[in-house]
């Protein structure tokens, strides 16, 4: 070793203390070992506490979750678990019926037998369908539908093979049941329309819902459900549809039904009673030809008793699905059988509009009841000559005579004095060119032009326009329903509106009493004068509709007005050559119109008739209106078609003359 001895001795002692435990300086080496041991124990204890804390936290968290699952959310998860086991399915309720005013069913339900196939119950689906088609033939479009549904549905879900089976087809299926594994006959309901074409435009029809419809109501997701597509069926669809029932089914993990646990039937749709008399409707349609429309109202309250138009369609065809050929035939026909011309057919009113001009002139005081206007057979305005239908002229005529003879020149003059806007205002008060609010979707309001309407098109309104509109020609577009309403308002002096609903679920609706409709606010003296003139049209010598007088045996008289509207302009050259309308092709001939009410002194019925290309209102439309009123009064007297009670509880039959 290098260095002094004492230094060498100190280093040796230090080395020895480190090398020999417990040696030297009072056992300091033992104390260090104990400290190290205590340090190790401290570290172990801290780690143990940390681990214990972590375990305690984990168990606490698990305990809290168990508490939430078992106590706080136990009911919710129990419900979810139950729903995994139980499937709640809706049951389609029976659709409500549509009844006529006498309680006859005009839209009802009948049993629909159909063949169903459950794919999982047959080893070879294609072979089973082929066997079925040999027993009950399937069309190509039916096969395409079946294949489409087989691809979309699970194997245990039934697929409809054929609906509307008859007894013979069901018997063949049952007889060959061993060869038809997975096929069964099921019973449902379908819509039936006993009156067929006679009430198709009024009642409408039902059809399967579209995807847009299904988004509104879960009930529409059910197979076989139908919704209203036209007419009363569509307007009252919610009322007729009812509320769905439900059935609880126990299912397995893949949704296959094991057994039924509970069943709650739905609430059937409510019955809707309409104002139409089905027997009277059928009788009216039997009297009219193709291209003719007739509307009969209860003049006192606006109830529609008959609304007939030809041609029509059979709504029963929509139950099984309209074929492509049938649809092409309907849509290609120029006679448009799918359109209800009573509410959607638009026609110029012709001379039936003259009462509007007369009332407007009296109210505006541009004439007096006895003032006469000379009719030489025409009226010249600038370089234009406006002709009267009587080329020889009527001479001097007042308002009563002008309506009786249907003098055009008189109303040309009144229109000049009034202006188009005052004529249009009176027309709207009488129900023309306004929304009548009848319970038929898509009804057209028509058009009564004004100066502002024409100027909005970027064209000026000329005085000549006003003149021609004074006799119901020009831009007017009115429906037969509007003309019947107009006639009822003239007859009663009240703002009656046409309506088809009489009761819903057995409860009468408002509108059956005359007091339900407010007065028009037209001077009664003016109305009386116009009514007298309409009576003269039918019942006095020289009236344009004398041919339409009601038979004396009926004991009542009617008041009315003829109208004839051109569909093609007659040129001056044609008139000079001796124009004869009967020599024109039918589609170029004028429309024939007639409006009337009866009895004259106690109005009960109002009627309008439009015969497309009928040439003459007095020759074609007026006799039809007469026959319709005769039918209505005969049914009234026999008690087979009486309208509802009148004001004060008196029935129409009691109010009618003996």
Residues annotated as part of the active site:
351
The pair of structure tokens assigned to 441 is 């979707």
> Helix (H, G, I), strand (E, B), or coil: what is residue 14?
helix
> C-alpha 357: how far from its chain's center?
35
Instruction: For residue 381, list its beta bridge partners.
Output: 384
Which contiguous run of DSSP H or E holds residue 295? strand 292-298
Helix, strand, coil in percent for the chain, rounding step 5 = 45, 20, 35
Beta bridge partners of 207: 227
How many CB atoms within 10 Å of residue 390? Answer: 16
**Alpha carbon distances (Å) from 124 to 42, 142, 236, 297:** 78, 19, 45, 62
21 in Cβ contact with 33 (< 8 Å): yes
Distance, in Å, from the CA atom of 21 to the CA atom of 30, rounded to the nearest integer, reads 7
> What letter does residue 440 receive in the DSSP assignment?
S
Tokens of 445: 């309001």
Distance CA 554, CA 638 (A): 13
Return the exposure string of 189-201: e unless at least 16 CB atoms fall within 10 Å of the residue's CB, then b. Answer: ebbbbebbbbbbb
- Rounded CA separation 472/610 (Å): 14
Nearest to 301 by CA among 495, 168, 566, 139: 495
Closest by alpha carbon to 349, among 532, 482, 531?
482
Between CA 408 and CA 411 the distance in angstroms is: 5
- Which of 264, 111, 113 is CA-nearest to residue 191? 111
Start-to-end C-alpha separation, the chain:
161
Eight-class DSSP state of 448: -
Region of 406 on the Ramachandran plot (φ > 0 left; ψ -120 to 50 alpha; else beta): left
Please name which of 343, 289, 337 lies closest in space to residue 315, comparing C-alpha atoms. 337
Identify the helix (H) or strand (E) that includes residue 228.
strand 227-228
Q: Answer for the pair 164, 190: CB distance below 8 angstroms, yes or no.
A: yes
Q: 494: which 2 tokens?
A: 């009240």
Strand 98-99, strand 272-274: pairing = parallel
Cβ-Cβ contacts under 8 Å for 484 (sequence gap 6 or more)? 295, 296, 297, 498, 595, 606, 607, 608
* CA distance linking residue 39 with residue 528, whole number of Å: 124
């Amino acid at each position: 070793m290098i260095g002094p001895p004492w230094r060498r001795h100190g280093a040796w002692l230090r080395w020895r203390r480190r090398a020999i435990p417990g040696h030297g300086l009072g056992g300091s080496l033992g104390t260090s070992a104990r400290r190290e041991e205590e340090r190790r124990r401290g570290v172990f204890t801290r780690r143990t506490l940390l681990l214990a804390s972590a375990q305690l936290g984990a168990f606490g968290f698990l305990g809290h979750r168990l508490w939430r699952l078992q106590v706080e959310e136990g009911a919710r998860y129990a419900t979810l678990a139950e729903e995994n086991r139980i499937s709640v399915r809706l049951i389609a309720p029976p659709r409500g019926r549509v009844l006529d005013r006498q309680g006859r069913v005009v839209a009802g339900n009948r049993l629909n037998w159909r063949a169903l196939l459950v794919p999982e119950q047959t080893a070879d689906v294609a072979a089973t369908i082929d066997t079925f088609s040999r027993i009950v033939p399937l069309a190509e479009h039916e096969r395409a539908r079946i294949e489409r549904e087989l691809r979309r549905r699970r194997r245990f879900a039934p697929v409809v093979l054929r609906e509307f089976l008859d007894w013979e087809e069901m018997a063949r299926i049952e007889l060959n049941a061993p060869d038809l594994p997975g096929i069964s006959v099921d019973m449902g309901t379908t819509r039936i329309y006993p009156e067929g074409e006679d009430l198709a435009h009024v009642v409408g029809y039902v059809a399967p819902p579209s995807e847009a419809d299904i988004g509104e109501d879960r009930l529409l997701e059910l197979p076989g459900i139908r919704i209203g597509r036209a007419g009363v069926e569509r307007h009252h669809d919610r009322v007729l549809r009812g509320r769905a029932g439900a059935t609880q089914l126990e299912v397995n993990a893949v949704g296959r039904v094991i057994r039924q646990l509970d069943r709650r039937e739905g609430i059937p749709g409510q019955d809707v009673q309409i104002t139409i008399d089905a027997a009277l409707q059928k009788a009216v349609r039997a009297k009219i030809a193709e291209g003719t429309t007739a509307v009969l109202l209860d003049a006192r309250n606006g109830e529609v008793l008959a609304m007939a138009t030809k041609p029509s369609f059979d709504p029963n065809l929509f139950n099984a699905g309209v074929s492509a050929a049938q649809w092409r035939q309907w849509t290609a026909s120029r006679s448009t059988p799918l359109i209800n011309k009573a509410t959607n057919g638009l026609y110029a009113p012709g001379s039936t509009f003259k009462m509007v001009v007369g009332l407007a002139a009296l109210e505006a005081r541009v004439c007096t009841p006895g003032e006469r206007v000379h009719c030489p057979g025409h009226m010249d305005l600038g370089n234009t000559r406006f002709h009267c239908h009587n080329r020889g002229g009527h001479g001097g005529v007042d308002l009563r005579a002008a309506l009786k003879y249907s003098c055009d020149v008189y109303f040309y003059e009144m229109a000049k004095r009034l202006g188009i806007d005052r004529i249009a205002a009176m027309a709207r008060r009488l129900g023309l060119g306004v929304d009548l609010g009848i319970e038929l979707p898509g009804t057209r309001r028509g058009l009564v032009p004004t100066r502002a309407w024409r100027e909005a098109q970027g064209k000026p309104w000329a005085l000549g326009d006003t003149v021609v509109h004074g006799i119901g020609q020009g831009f007017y577009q009115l429906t037969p329903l509007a003309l019947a309403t107009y006639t009822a308002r003239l007859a009663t002096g009240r703002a009656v509106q046409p309506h088809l609903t009489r009761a819903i679920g057995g409860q009468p609706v408002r509108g059956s009493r005359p007091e339900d409709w407010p007065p028009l606010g037209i001077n009664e003296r003016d109305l009386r004068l116009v009514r007298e003139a309409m009576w003269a049209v039918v019942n006095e010598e020289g009236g344009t509709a004398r041919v339409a007088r009601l038979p004396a045996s009926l004991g009542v008289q009617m008041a009315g007005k003829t109208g004839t509207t051109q569909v093609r302009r007659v040129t001056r050259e044609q008139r000079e050559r001796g124009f004869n309308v009967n020599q024109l092709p039918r589609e170029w001939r004028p429309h024939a119109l007639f409006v009337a009410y009866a009895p004259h002194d106690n109005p009960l019925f109002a009627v309008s008739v439009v015969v497309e290309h009928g040439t003459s209102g007095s020759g074609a439309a007026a006799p039809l209106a007469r026959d319709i009123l005769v039918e209505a009064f005969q049914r009234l007297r026999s008690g087979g078609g009486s309208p509802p009670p009148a004001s004060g509880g008196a029935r129409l039959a009691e109010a009618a003359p003996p």
